[in-house]
Amino acid sequence: MDDRLPQMLRSDARDNRDRVLEAARQLFSERGLGVPMREIARRAEVGPATLYRRFPTKQALVDEAFTDELDACSGIVRDGCADPDPWRGLCTVIREIAELNARNQGFVDAFASSYPGAVDFGAHRASMLRALTGLTRRAQQAGALRPDFVLDDLILVFMAGRGLPVDAPDIRVAAARRLAALAVEAFRASGPPGPLPPPARVLGEVLR
């Protein structure tokens, strides 16, 4: 029991950290960076003392939440590139990046505007583009990705995703899934089309 106690405490601390960061990303995305720390603690279902013990300042929480966001993006691309089937890996990247961006778009935009020099976006972007260049080239060589595809097409899809409705998180995520599925079908070289996720009801958002 004595040997297991420190491990249990470390596990609890990790769980608390993960819940706090997830709650912070959600609230920052929904309402901007001005969300009070106590509200983040409430969403994460931890006490204020637990929150401040791990993140003594709001800035520390914002920085770590955004670092986790970049790590999540890098992890998606890394896992996609590691897939022995390059087409499957590319499809996974398209779907998961689209959904990640949809879930946390508000947070990323707020962070970038509030702390424009805090993160070397250029280095992160260059690393991701190098990895995606290799992945798409392998998918083309395998005959799965249409031969006239260029990397700008993928960037265009991700840029289009940034125009999805921001004020309705459920609609935004559904729209991102649909957009990603349509992009996959557009990029497919041949073969039967795959199923599409349910349509996103975005017309009402556009007409507001």
Q: Indicate the residue among 30, 56, 82 that finishes a domain.
A: 56
Q: Which domain holds residue 1?
A: 1-56
| Residue 90, CA distances (Å) to 41, 83, 112, 145, 187 in order | 37, 9, 27, 9, 10
Same domain, 84 and 175: yes
Which tens digits make up the pLDDT trace of 182-199? Answer: 999 999 998 777 777 887
Query: What is the CATH number for 192?
Result: 1.10.357.10
* pTM, entire model: 0.80
Same domain, 86 and 151: yes
Same domain, 106 and 148: yes
Query: What is the CATH number for 52?
Result: 1.10.10
| Residue 208, CA distances (Å) to 118, 167, 203 in order | 35, 11, 9
Same domain, 74 and 51: no
Which tens digits make up the pLDDT trace of 122-167? Answer: 788 899 999 999 999 999 999 999 999 999 999 999 888 877 766 6
